[in-house]
Amino acid sequence: MSAGASMLRIVTTLGSPLFLVLGMKNSTVFESVLGVHTVGELLRHYPRRYYTRGELTNLGSLREGDHVTVLARVDLVRRIPLPPQRFGPRQGGRRERLEVIVTDGTAKLVLTFFARVTYWARELQPGRLGLFAGTVSTFRGRRQLVHPECEMLPDEAEDTRVVAELAAEYSTAMIPVYPASAKLSSWRIARVIEGILEDLDAGEDPLPADVREKYRLWPRETAIRAIHQPQERGDLEHARKRLKWDEAFVLQAALAQRRLAAAAMPAVPRPPSPDGIAAAFDASLPFTLTEGQRFVGEVIARDLSCAYPMNRLLQGEVGSGKTVVAVRAMLQVVDAGGQAALLAPTEVLAQQHYRSITQLLGPLARGGQLGGAEQATRVALLTGSTGAAARRSALSDAFTGDAGILIGTHALLEDRVQFADLGLVVIDEQHRFGVEQRDALREKAAGARPHVLVMTATPIPRTVAMTVFGDLEVSTLAELPAGRSPIATHVVPAADRPRYLERAWERIREEVADGRQAYVVCPRIGGEAPGEAAEDGADDDADSGAEGETTARRPPLAALDVAPELAEGPLSGVRVGILHGRLSPDEKDRVMTAFADGGIDVLVATTVIEVGVDVPNATTMVVMDADRFGVSALHQLRGRVGRGRAAGLCLLVTEAPEGSPARERVDAVAATLDGFRLSRLDLEQRREGDVLGATQAGRHSSLKMLRLLSDEELIAFAREEATALVAADPQLTAHVALRETIEVLLGPQRAEFLDKA
Ligand code: ADP
Ligand code: MG
C-alpha cells in the first residue's frame, strides 16, 4: 500500500515535496495536521514510543481527555441491546451497541461501538491483538474509547502463508507509535513513512566522516531508517544520538558562520575617555556600583574599543542594575563622538527608561540647555505615540547628532529615523525581539557596524545561550545591589481556601493604609468578543502535554472584570487603576505616571507591566489565575515588587488542584527566587522550539530530537567541531551537503539572513 505506487518509481529525496510522493489529497492531511511539507520534514516526525508484541500498553495509566494509541488484547465482546424507547418508531429493527473489553493483562479498557456492530464484532475476536486509538472518556466509572480507530495485528492462530509472514515481521519488529490525532492515526503515519523509506535515497551525509568516526555516529540514512523501523531497542540509542548530532551540528555550524561574518565586519572603535561625560556620570552616581556592574562595565569598555563590532548579551536578574551598565556604555560611545540607541519592547518601558535615564543623568542630559553640564548631551524619546513636534525634534536631534542617546520602541526601526553616527545599539529584554530587528537597527549605522549590547532579565541556561544566542558573547550580573529587600512569595489556593484570598485583599488594604502600593495582575484584558484572544494575555501553552488534549476550562480572569469587583468589594475606598495593552499609548502613560506619582493605590493590570516597570513604592503583587502564566512570566512579574527598601510580597492565586502540573509550576515559582532554576524548569515544560523565539515562530521547529538541557555535553562537542570546521572552510565549499542541510533546516529566510550577517 505504498502511497507512491501509482506514480513512476523515482527515488525520493529528503527535499521531495510531499504531494509528489503522497498525492495531493493525502499530503494535504499531513500538511494540515503535522505541518510538514517535504519528505525530510515528515521523516523528522519521530515516533514517540515503540510497542513490541510482548509488551502491551499499561491501560491503568490512561488519563481522561487524552488522545491515545494503545496496544492491547481483546478480552471480551458483548452485544448489548439499547433501550428501544430512546429511538423513534421510524427506526424500528434491533438497536444494539457493541462493548469490547481489551486488556493489557491487568487493567481493562472498554471500546464502545454504536454503528457497524456486526462488522466490528467479527473484526475484534477475543484473543486478538490490536492498536486502538481514540480519546479517553469515562462512562459509569470505566475508562472507554468510543468508536476508536482500530488496527488489528495479524492473528497468530491463522496460518495462511501471507499472514504467517506478516506475523513474523510484527513479532520481531517494534511498532512505532507516532504523535497522532483524531484526523491522522499513528498507523497511517507509519504506513506512509514505511512506503517512503522503501524508495528513499537520503543523499550525502552532512556530517564529515572524521566527526562521525570520532564520536562513533551512525550514517544519517541508517539513523533515519532505524528511528522509524528499529529492529531492536539498542538501535534507538544510536539513531537518536546521530539525529541529535545533526540538529546540534547544523545549528552550530550556522552560528559559527554568523559569528565569523560579524567579526569580519569593521566597526568604529569607541575607546573610553578619562574626563568625558561617562566619567562625570560615574562621579555623580548616588550609589556605588556592584562588583558585577564594575566588572561587566570593564569588559564592555574593552569591547567598544575594538575595531570589530561587540555582540554581547548581558543577563541579570530583575533589579540587578543592567540599565546603569547600559548607560555607562552609551556614554562611552558619546564621549567618542558617536550616538547610542536604546530599543525597548514596549511603550511603557521606553517611557520609563527615558524618565529614569534622564533623571540619572541630571544636568548631563541637558546639552545646549540652561543648567546643562559642560559635557552634557541630549536624550531623545521616540515611540509610536510621540507627538508631532516632539517627534520632529527627536528625528532632527538624531540626524544632526545633537542627541547622544535615542530611546524608543519599534518606532526606532522606521526608515525615516537616521543617525549622524550610530555607534551602539542597546536592546532591552531580548526575548521580545527577533534577530531580524537586531539587524534592522544595526543597519542604521552608515558604513561600519555599530556595537550591540542585548540585555535580558530571563536567565538563560548555558546550552540555550550557546544555541539560541550562539552568536553573542554572554556576561552575567549575578548579584543584586545591596539594600534590596527579598521578595516573599506564597501560593493562595483560592478554590480550597477562599479565606486566604480574603486575607490577601486585607493585606493590600493594610499596605495602602501604610502609604504603599500594589499590583493585581490578571491573565486577560476582558471585554473582547467571545473567542478573541487578548493581545497581552498570559501564555497559556505551558501545560499542553505531548499527548494530552486540553480540556475546557473557564476563561481566565480579566482585568476589566476584576478591577470593578475589587473597587466595589474588598478594596472599596482604595484608588484602583487599570493598565492593559488595549489602552492607547497616551492613556497607558497617564496611568503609569499616576501610579508612579502615588495617585493610584492599586493597579489592576495584565502582563504589560511584566517588563522593567519600576515603582519602588509598590510592595505587594497579587497574581490572579497564576497557573495561566508561564514560569518565566511569573518570575518577571514578581520582580516588579521589592524594588525599594520595604520587603516585597507576591501572592500567587490559583484554583489548580494540588499536585496538578499547573499547580506544580506555581509552587515552583513560590519555592525559589533563583531565576536560573526557574528558567530550566520553564524550558523543561516548554518545547525547545518555542525557545528559539520570533524567527522560529509558526515555523517547523528546527529542534526535534535535541533537548537543550539534557544534551548539554553533545551540544558542546558539536559546537567545538562545527566551529573548527567553519573556521577552516567559512563558505562550506568542501561541505556541500552540510551547507544544503543548513538551508533546509533553518528555512530560506533564515539562510538568507545568515548570508547577510
Ligand atoms: P534591571 O534593569 O536589571 O532590572 P535596573 O537597572 O532597572 O535593573 O535597576 C533597578 C534599580 O536599582 C534602579 O532603580 C537602579 O537605579 C538601582 N541600582 C542600580 N545599580 C545599583 C547599585 N549598584 N546600588 C544601588 N542601586 C542600584
Ligand atoms: Mg531593566
pLDDT band at 183; cut points 50, 70, 90: confident
**164-173, 259-268, 568-577: which has the minimum mean pLDDT?**
164-173
What is the pLDDT at residue 9? 59
What is the pLDDT at residue 88? 52
Q: Ligand 1 atom closest to Cα of 293?
A: 23
Q: Which three cell numbers stand for residue 328?
A: 555607562
Q: Is the pLDDT of residue 634 over 80?
A: yes
Distant-in-sequence, close-in-space partners of 18: CB < 8 Å, separation ≥ 6: 27, 30, 31, 36, 37, 38, 39, 41, 42
What is the pLDDT at residue 743? 80
Question: Which of 91 and 703 is assigned the larger pLDDT?
Answer: 703
What is the pLDDT at residue 433? 55
Q: Ligand 1 atom closest to Cα of 324?
A: 6
> How far does residue 481's CA lie from ligand 1's centre (Å)?
7
Q: Is the CB of 457 under 6 A from ligand 1?
A: yes
> How far does residue 645's CA lie from ligand 1's centre (Å)?
13
Q: Which three cell numbers stand for residue 5?
A: 505506487
pLDDT band at 753; cut points 50, 70, 90: very low
> How far does residue 717's CA lie from ligand 2's centre (Å)?
34
Question: Which of 432 and 582 is assigned the larger pLDDT?
Answer: 582
Q: Is the CB of 456 under 6 A from ligand 1?
A: no
**Pair 109, 70: CB distance under 8 Å:** yes
pLDDT band at 435; cut points 50, 70, 90: low
For ligand 1, atom 9, the nearest C-alpha belongs to 321
Ligand (nearest to CA of 296)? 1
The letter for the amino acid at 173 is A
> How far does residue 643's CA lie from ligand 1's centre (Å)?
9
What is the Cα–Cα distance from 330 to 377, expressed in whole angstroms? Answer: 11
What is the pLDDT at residue 693? 37
What is the pLDDT at residue 568? 94
Bridge partners, residue 67, by sequence: 135
Q: Is the CB of 324 under 6 A from ligand 1?
A: yes
Average pLDDT, integer, range 384-413: 92
**105-109, 135-139, 159-163, 318-322: which has the minimum mean pLDDT?**
159-163
Query: 120-165: per-residue pLDDT in tens?
Result: 998 899 988 888 888 899 988 899 999 998 888 765 544 444 444 4
Q: Is the CB of 614 under 6 A from ligand 1?
A: yes
Q: Is the pLDDT of residue 302 over 70?
A: yes
What is the Cα–Cα distance from 434 to 415, expressed in whole angstroms? Answer: 18
Cα–Cα nearest to 94, from 110, 112, 117? 117
For ligand 1, atom 13, the nearest C-alpha belongs to 321
> How far does residue 581's CA lie from ligand 1's centre (Å)?
26
Query: 7-51: per-residue pLDDT in tens?
Result: 555 688 998 999 999 999 999 999 998 989 999 999 999 998 887
> Ligand 1, residues 289, 324, 356: which to mutate, most atoms within 8 A of Cβ?
324
Q: Is the pLDDT of residue 688 over 50?
A: no
What is the pLDDT at residue 90? 52
**Pair 192, 202: CB distance under 8 Å:** no
Cα–Cα nearest to 176, from 230, 239, 222? 230
What is the Cα–Cα distance from 29 to 677, expressed in whole angstroms? Answer: 40
Query: 263-291: per-residue pLDDT in tens?
Result: 788 899 999 999 999 999 999 999 999 99
For ligand 1, atom 5, the nearest C-alpha belongs to 321
Average pLDDT, integer, range 401-428: 91
Q: Is the CB of 426 under 6 A from ligand 1?
A: no
> How far does residue 440's CA lie from ligand 2's centre (Å)?
22
> How far does residue 326's CA lie from ligand 1's centre (Å)?
11
CA-to-CA separations, 117 to 83, 202, 387, in angstroms, rounded? 16, 45, 72
> How far does residue 611's CA lie from ligand 2's centre (Å)?
7
pLDDT band at 552; cut points 50, 70, 90: very low
What is the pLDDT at residue 529? 59
Cα–Cα nearest to 193, from 144, 239, 226, 148? 226
Q: Is the CB of 320 under 6 A from ligand 1?
A: yes
From the number of C-beta atoms within 10 Å of its C-beta (0-12, 13-18, 19+), residue 686 rates as middle
**96-100, 220-224, 445-449: which has the minimum mean pLDDT?**
445-449
Q: Ligand 1 atom closest to Cα of 428?
A: 2
Neighbouring C-alpha atoms within 13 Å toward the C-beta of 500: 15
For ligand 1, atom 24, the nearest C-alpha belongs to 481
What is the pLDDT at residue 123? 87
Using a cut of 0.85, tell me whether the model's pTM lies above it.
no
Cα–Cα nearest to 461, from 449, 472, 469? 469
pLDDT band at 661; cut points 50, 70, 90: confident
Query: 118-132: per-residue pLDDT in tens?
Result: 889 988 999 888 888
**104-108, 273-277, 666-670: which has the minimum mean pLDDT?**
104-108
Ligand (nearest to CA of 636)? 1
Q: Is the pLDDT of residue 549 over 60?
A: no
The letter for the amino acid at 594 is A
What is the Cα–Cα distance from 716 to 705, expressed in whole angstroms? Answer: 16
| Beta strands 311-316 and 451-456, pairing class | parallel
Average pLDDT, integer, range 400-423: 91
Cα–Cα nearest to 377, from 340, 404, 358? 404
Q: Ligand 1 atom closest to Cα of 360?
A: 16
pLDDT band at 581; cut points 50, 70, 90: confident
Helix axes 675-685, 661-671, angle to 10 degrees: 170
pLDDT band at 260; cut points 50, 70, 90: confident
Q: Is the CB of 293 under 6 A from ligand 1?
A: yes
What is the pLDDT at residue 231? 86
Distant-in-sequence, close-in-space partners of 206: CB < 8 Å, separation ≥ 6: 220, 246, 249, 250, 735, 737, 738, 740, 741
For ligand 1, atom 25, the nearest C-alpha belongs to 481
Q: Is the CB of 287 under 6 A from ligand 1?
A: yes
The letter for the amino acid at 372 is G
> How far does residue 445's CA lie from ligand 2's centre (Å)?
25
Ligand (nearest to CA of 287)? 1
Ligand (nearest to CA of 323)? 1
Average pLDDT, integer, range 548-571: 80
What is the pLDDT at residue 533? 45
> How far does residue 526's CA lie from ligand 1's centre (Å)?
34
Question: Which of 754 and 80 is assigned the larger pLDDT?
Answer: 80
**Pair 730, 260: CB distance under 8 Å:** yes
**Pair 143, 110: CB distance under 8 Å:** yes
DSSP characters over 426-445: EEESGGGS-HHHHHHHHTTS
Distant-in-sequence, close-in-space partners of 471: CB < 8 Å, separation ≥ 6: 255, 258, 259, 262, 311, 757
Question: Which of 552 and 228 is assigned the larger pLDDT?
Answer: 228
Residue 464: count of CB within 10 angstroms of its CB:
22
3-state class percentages of the chain: helix first, strand second, coil last, to nearest 5? 40, 20, 40
What is the pLDDT at residue 84? 65
Per cent of the chain over pLDDT 70 is 81
What is the Cα–Cα distance from 355 to 695, expressed in whole angstroms? Answer: 31
**233-237, 496-500, 549-553, 684-688: which has the minimum mean pLDDT?**
549-553
> How far does residue 293's CA lie from ligand 1's centre (Å)?
10
The letter for the amino acid at 394 is A
Average pLDDT, integer, range 443-452: 79
> Ligand 1, residues 281, 284, 285, 287: which to mutate, most atoms within 8 A of Cβ?
287
Q: Is the CB of 323 under 6 A from ligand 1?
A: yes
Q: Which three cell numbers stand for residue 589?
A: 502613560
